């Protein structure tokens, strides 16, 4: 009886091993990506819309790009690193570098995609030179974007940042503020609704665009539209950076069709970084 029970137990464990081996969660993260079908994570909005255009082009050549949309900035990197995604497309290089540093992810950029130029907007002044003593200026309160906003104000001659400040800079890192403007740190998504209460505000392009504001028609100062210093990137696991399918996706993303789609749809609020 003992021998028969032992045989049954071994058989049961072997069957269980076969079942779990067939589950998707055990995929080999170091294996080359499938050249016929890949899953790419994006954030909802422009990144998703652009990748849908890319997917249409790829489909004609037999490559299926399955798109998974997220509403936060952290999950897509975790999912990619863990093997639940083949790639993602939504983040800037400083954000990616910080995530890799903080969390030890083995992921890296494959190619540049688009840029979202940051802009200053106002219902009260037509130029940042018109700011007066004590005027309130809104900026996003999250680390990378607050630094970009403060750098934009520095480039406009409104203030000077302390030498050597990094992407985690806040209003406490302002060295010189000759007009004594009051910097108001706000949740990025809420700034458009608060614009009327401020003299001016620096607004993330996606939130400005959602509020009907565009860089070319409404901003009073903005980051460069050409060679923007904060391009977004297409990201893969480090082991897949040179995979053939990644090069194929880059070809479709950098095509004339994709570039025209971006220019027509976003009117300068999102610009090709290629």
Q: How far apart are CA 257 and CA 227, in angstroms?
A: 20
Considering the domain boundaries, does residue 1 fall inside one?
A: no
Residues 228 and 271 sit within 8 Å (Cβ to Cβ): yes
Same domain (yes/no): 128, 101: no
Question: Would you state the structure tokens that stand for residue 110, as one six-digit string?
Answer: 């494959």
Same domain (yes/no): 234, 210: no
Q: How far apart are CA 236 and CA 255, in angstroms?
A: 20
Q: How far apart are CA 263 and CA 131, in angstroms?
A: 32
Q: Which residues of the chain have pLDDT under 70?
A: 1-27
Q: Would you state the pLDDT for residue 10?
A: 42
Q: Which residues contact 208 (CB under 8 A, 6 or more apart)?
A: 119, 121, 192, 214, 215, 218, 219, 269
* Pairing outcome for strands 37-43 and 231-237: unpaired
Considering the domain boundaries, does residue 4 fall inside one?
A: no
* Pairing outcome for strands 182-186 and 136-140: parallel
Question: Would you state the structure tokens that stand for residue 151, as one six-digit string?
Answer: 């750098």
Q: Which residues contact 82 (CB under 8 A, 6 or more apart)?
A: 29
pTM comes to 0.77
Same domain (yes/no): 125, 203: yes
Beta bridge partners of 271: 115
Task: Tell the burial category of 6 from Cβ atoms under 10 Å away from its Cβ (0-12, 13-18, 19+).
Answer: exposed
Considering the domain boundaries, does residue 7 fall inside one?
A: no
Residues 211 and 119 sit within 8 Å (Cβ to Cβ): no
| Range 182-203 burial, b when 16+ CB lie within 10 A, else e | ebbebebeebbeebeebbbbbb
Considering the domain boundaries, does residue 28 fall inside one?
A: no
Same domain (yes/no): 146, 162: yes
Q: Would you state the pLDDT for residue 27?
A: 57
Same domain (yes/no): 86, 171: no
* Pairing outcome for strands 87-92 and 37-43: parallel
Same domain (yes/no): 212, 240: no
Q: How many domains does the chain have?
A: 2
CATH assignment of the domain containing 180:
3.40.190.10
Give the domain range for residue 153: 119-222
Q: Would you state the pLDDT for residue 15?
A: 41
Considering the domain boundaries, does residue 24 fall inside one?
A: no
Same domain (yes/no): 124, 200: yes
Residue 54, SS3 per DSSP: helix
Q: How far apart are CA 272 and CA 176, in angstroms?
A: 34
Considering the domain boundaries, does residue 205 fall inside one?
A: yes
Q: How far apart are CA 210 and CA 154, in angstroms?
A: 26
Residue in the structure block whose two tokens are 């999102």: 270
pLDDT (tens digit, 9 = 90+) per residue, 217-231? 999 999 999 899 999
Considering the domain boundaries, does residue 164 fall inside one?
A: yes
Please work out, in degrees rounded to the nearest 5, the angle formed at the alpha carbon of residue 188 by the alpha carbons of 187 and 190: 70
């Amino acid at each position: 009886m003992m021998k028969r029970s032992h045989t049954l137990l071994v058989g049961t464990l072997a069957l269980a091993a076969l079942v779990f081996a067939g589950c998707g969660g055990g995929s080999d993260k170091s294996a080359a990506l499938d050249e016929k079908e890949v899953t790419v994570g994006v954030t909802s909005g422009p990144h998703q819309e652009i990748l849908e255009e890319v997917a249409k082009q790829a489909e004609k050549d037999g490559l299926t790009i399955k798109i998974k949309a997220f509403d936060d900035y952290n999950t897509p990197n975790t999912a990619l690193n863990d093997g639940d995604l083949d790639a993602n497309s939504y983040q800037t290089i400083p954000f990616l570098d910080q995530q890799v540093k903080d969390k030890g992810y083995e992921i890296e950029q494959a190619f540049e995609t688009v840029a979202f130029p940051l802009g200053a907007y106002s219902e009260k002044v037509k130029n940042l030179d018109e700011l007066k003593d004590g005027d309130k200026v809104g900026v996003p309160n999250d680390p990378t974007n607050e630094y970009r906003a403060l750098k934009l104000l520095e480039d406009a001659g409104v203030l000077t940042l302390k030498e050597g400040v990094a992407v985690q800079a806040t209003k406490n890192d302002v060295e010189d503020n000759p007009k004594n403007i009051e910097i108001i740190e706000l949740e990025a998504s809420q700034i458009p609704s608060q614009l009327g209460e401020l003299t001016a505000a620096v607004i993330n392009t996606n939130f400005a665009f959602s509020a009907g504001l565009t860089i070319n028609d409404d901003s009073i100062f903005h980051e460069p539209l050409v060679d923007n210093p904060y391009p977004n990137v297409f990201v893969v696991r480090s082991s897949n950076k040179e995979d053939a399918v990644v090069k194929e996706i880059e070809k479709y993303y950098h095509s004339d069709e994709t570039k025209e789609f971006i220019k027509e749809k976003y009117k300068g609020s999102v610009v090709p970084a290629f």
